[in-house]
Chain A
């Protein structure tokens, strides 16, 4: 799985959009970008994933650059409950064999949402 680079921490004002960047310059053509977050004392929570097109769901939007070497997770209206560690992960979706169920987490970005 490709290595990702994220800023260690970011701040955001409540009600504003939070834009979390991720660099994955060595991503392969068959690797998807996944985002998870982990709120204190809880297990990681799946947010969204995508291959090359922008994706949106009820939680967030994912913008992937055309060359796929970086992406941005957007929380459109951040709330205090969005304070968490956000992990960007790249992997081959639907991978079987020994990759099944394996996610390689990095250090992530600590997002702090302020009132």
Chain B
């Protein structure tokens, strides 16, 4: 069975640009969460979507937004990119019965120049 898939795997942008990252959860999983991992740090929670509704948001500015589609895939959008947005962006899905057991993708490595 396919795991959580994220695209693209790597991305280079310049300051001020916009970026869209995509995530496909494991089949049957209705919950998708997004995390940001800066080099040398643990992942930090950005968003959680369940049944296409935002259910949680971490301490990130409004430049970060996300949505979940009817097929439960998700997009993370970041506007007006800053150098500090350079990080590994991780998507995780869960079946919805245990919010602590997440299945993570391999992430999108975003570099902002």
Contacts and interface: CB of A to CB of B under 8 A. Distances in A.
A43 B105 contact: yes
A91 to B, nearest CB: 5
Query: Which bracket fits the contact residues of A?
Result: 20 to 34
10 contacts: A44-B92, A44-B104, A45-B104, A46-B101, A93-B98, A97-B56, A101-B45, A101-B48, A102-B56, A105-B43
Interface of B: 4, 31-33, 41-45, 48, 50, 55-58, 90, 92, 94, 97-107
Contacts of B45: 101-104
Given A94-B99, A101-B50, A102-B33, A44 B55 contact: no
B66 to A, nearest CB: 12
Contacts of B57: 98
Contacts of B32: 101
